[in-house]
Amino acid sequence: MRPEREPRTGEGTRPSPAVRDRDDDLSVLFGMSTALFASMAGPAHVLEAANPAFFTAIGGGQRERTGVPLGDLMPELEAQGFLRLLDQVYMTGERHVGRDTRVVIGAGSRAREAYFDFTYEARRDAGGNVVGVRMIGVETTQAKHARRLAAEQRALLEQIARQAPLPEVLEGMCRVIEELSPDVIVSVLLADEEGRRLHHGAAPSLPAFYNQAIDGIAAGEGVGSCGTAAHRRRMVIVTDIATDPLWDGFRELAARAGLAACWSTPILGREERVLGTFGMYHRTPRAPQDADLALAGMFVDTAALAVERHHAERDRRMADAREKAARDDLSYLLTVSTALAGPLEEGQTLRRLAELAVPALAPLAAVDVLEAGRVHRVAAAAVTGRARELLASPGAAREFLETEDDAVARVLATGLTEVARRTPAGPGPWEELGVTGYLCVPLMDRELPFGVLSLYATDDAALDGHRIALAEEVARRAASAAHNARQYAQRAALARDLQTGLLLPDLPDVPGAQMAAFYHPAGQGLDIGGDFYDVFPRGDGSWSFVLGDVCGRGAKAATTTALVRHTARAVAPLLDDPVAVVKAVDRALNDRNAQQNNGFVTLVYGHLTPARDGLAVELVRAGHTLPLLLDSGHTVTPVEAHGGLIGIGVPPRLDAVRFTLRPTESLVLYTDGITECRGENTEQYGDARLAKALASTPAHPSAAEIVRKLTEDIRAFTDGRRVDDDQAALVVTAEGP
């Protein structure tokens, strides 16, 4: 601070009795005050009077005396410039005011840092001459420390608010306290989740060997000051470590670290949960003062806030991590289910399983299945091609009974998951692959294992419980998909066999006629079509032909198709009238019981008889699309034949149509799957386009050329898209004489 100046009025040597009396009065006045008062005389600044607060501030003891120069009483003032200030005030008579001035009182280990607000002012005699210097002051050390403590605490709270790392906050707190109380060494220990052990949190001034030794001490009675404080949940004060029984197990350690006293306060959170301890060490035996206890209490509360904030943030991150892991698991399982839900055969499903397991579950995966008493490796996947080749190398079948020491064999025998953090015992390129552990999960089919998903770890990544549970769920879904694929394949094979039996493998050779057919089912696998056609001899030189459409799809439609074909084949040689044949088929359909009834049937049935001028045709239409006649001039005309549906329980009204198919003329029978198929703009193919396609065939087309033209036009119209209904066509072309 800049000194306040007074005009110099003169030089004095010895104070007059009046001056001394006045200063004696001031000494008495300040006697019981906390303010400091001292009166000095002459240029040597001989201390004439001072109050008890002054002597207390300068250290008391041997310094509590007057009649000696201040420089002799407090030699440390010389180096700090205070004696020069006294000289200046004495010589100039100008007052000096100091604000929050730092003063080091004493020397060596007894030195004390203090702060004062003070005034040096001249003492004058009756004539106005300066005869000495008077000092009036107030010690501000505690107020300055309090302001600094508040500032440091605000800084710590700001660190906590911005979620600074807990070790950074705790170490900063320790350093603040050690700066405020230079003879204190601070340590913070943090409790584990159960509150049973204390671990190193922060202790920047303690030796490293000491921090390592007490890291993990138990929270219990007699475990030093900190362990006991955590156990008792209240402050524990040990003034002399060398004699206190609480330190029996740590006395030598404390002596090595130069520690003589320790006061420990438990850090308590909500619901009195022990979060840790706050220890204050001293190098000499000592009991705490009120200021020490207040300091400890303030920073314990701050430490509790920091630790609880750290725990809350840690719990939040853990919850976020668990939520993310759960979302990732669900996403992965959804990916697995989607990938396995397609129309895959069993082998594809198991290969897809191995691919999906890498690297999500492990860097290496293999799938083995048991077939006819032998174990086959059907799939292998790895993060590198070389590793996959090595893992697939044991793929040759091996006898199941000869592999009882193998994990795959054990899992196949027991149906239980097996996990180990070691190299598998069975044969394999484990060393070259760097395998350090394995997990074998059974693939179950109706509670019986039919295969094993094996996952292999190649580093320290543990095959933990979470990964085991996830692998078991993936294996369960894959096993279900494989089971469904197996069943689908079996049923699809049955359906193919059934449909193959319902369709002609080849059209027969009919004298005087060319025959060609087109069949395109809308469904695949189990979705057996309802369209059919047939050509067969009647035994008298004539031939029967039929093309029809059964209502519905699947097995019931197949049984209805078989009933229609076989009934027609059975009665056609016995009945000359095509109408009678169709009515016999209608009766057979209506005689079915309710479980067998699969709805109505539409068809065109007729007889072909070779003639000198072509083919004599007699046909019946039962609710089906009109047959088309392509003549030699490429004119397309429908064959008008009237008739209703059959198989609906009402006798149909049927009329036969007779005509002669001249050489090079063709009769085209087709199902509505052709005319009702749709193109890109949802427009139907239609009767007009069908007639146009037939008319665009080359001159005198064969039956095969007509079918080829028709299929090409349909394919161009649909642009390769899947059709919704079966498509079938039968073409009969009369040959020349």
For 417-433, how does the pLDDT look when each residue is reduced to its tens digit (9 = 90+)?
999 988 888 778 888 88
Q: Please compute the mean of the pLDDT values over residues 196-209 and round it to a whole number.
A: 93
pLDDT in tens, 377-416: 999 999 999 999 988 875 444 554 445 568 898 999 999 9
pLDDT in tens, 489-500: 676 666 556 655
pLDDT in tens, 131-142: 999 999 998 887
pLDDT in tens, 348-378: 899 999 999 999 899 999 999 998 888 889 9
Q: What is the DSSP string of 345-376?
A: -HHHHHHHHHHHHTTTT-SEEEEEEEETTEEE
Share of the chain above pLDDT 90, in %: 52
Which H/E stretch holds residue 701? none
Is pLDDT at 9 greater than 70 in this prediction?
no
Question: Residue 699: exposed, middle, or buried by beta-carbon count in 10 A (0-12, 13-18, 19+)?
Answer: exposed
Q: Please compute the mean of the pLDDT values over residues 86-98 and round it to a whole number.
A: 95
Q: Packing angle between helix 166-180 and helix 141-161, nearest 10 degrees?
A: 180
Task: Choose among 540, 543, 482, 483: nearest CA to 513.
Answer: 543
Q: Please compute the mean of the pLDDT values over residues 150-173 and round it to a whole number.
A: 74
> What is the DSSP code (8-state) at residue 203?
-
Task: Choose among 400, 424, 422, 398: nearest CA to 412.
Answer: 400
Dist CA 135 CA 133 (whole Å) = 7
Q: Please compute the mean of the pLDDT values over residues 161-172 and round it to a whole number.
A: 79
Do the beta carbons of residue 600 and residue 647 sit within 8 Å? Answer: yes
Instruction: Enter the tokens of residue 341.
Output: 């839900």
Which H/E stretch holds residue 618? strand 614-622
Residue 161's pLDDT is 65
Is pLDDT at 106 greater than 60 in this prediction?
yes
Q: Please compute the mean of the pLDDT values over residues 8-25 and round it to a whole number.
A: 50
Dist CA 645 CA 651 (whole Å) = 9
Dist CA 507 CA 537 (whole Å) = 11
Residue 495's pLDDT is 59
Maximum Cα–Cα distance across the chain: 172
Residues contacting residue 194 through CB under 8 Å, at least 6 positions apart: none
Task: Choose among 620, 597, 598: nearest CA to 607.
Answer: 620
Beta bridge partners of 238: 262
Which H/E stretch holds residue 279? strand 274-282
Do the beta carbons of residue 549 and residue 624 sit within 8 Å? Answer: yes
Residue 726's pLDDT is 85
The residue among 274 and 736 whose pLDDT is bigger is 274
Q: What is the DSSP string of 84-119?
A: HHHHHHHHH---EEEEEEEEEES-GGG-EEEEEEEE
The residue among 32 and 72 whose pLDDT is bigger is 72
Residue 427, phi-psi category: left (phi > 0), alpha (psi -120 to 50), beta (remainder): beta
Dist CA 438 CA 234 (whole Å) = 51
- Provide the CA 134 distance to its chain's centre, in angstroms: 77
Dist CA 529 CA 522 (whole Å) = 7
Task: Choose among 677, 669, 688, 658: nearest CA to 729.
Answer: 669
Residues contacting residue 191 through CB under 8 Å, at least 6 positions apart: 197, 198, 199, 219, 230, 274, 275, 276, 277
Dist CA 311 CA 304 (whole Å) = 10
Q: What angle do CA 414, 419, 425 make, to 5 degrees?
A: 85
Residue 599's pLDDT is 74
Dist CA 472 CA 457 (whole Å) = 16
Which H/E stretch holds residue 597? none
* Rg of the chain in Å (alpha carbons): 54
Residues contacting residue 683 through CB under 8 Å, at least 6 positions apart: none
* Exposure b/e, 629-658, CB count within 10 A at least 16 = b: bbeeeeebeebebebbbbbbeeebebebbe
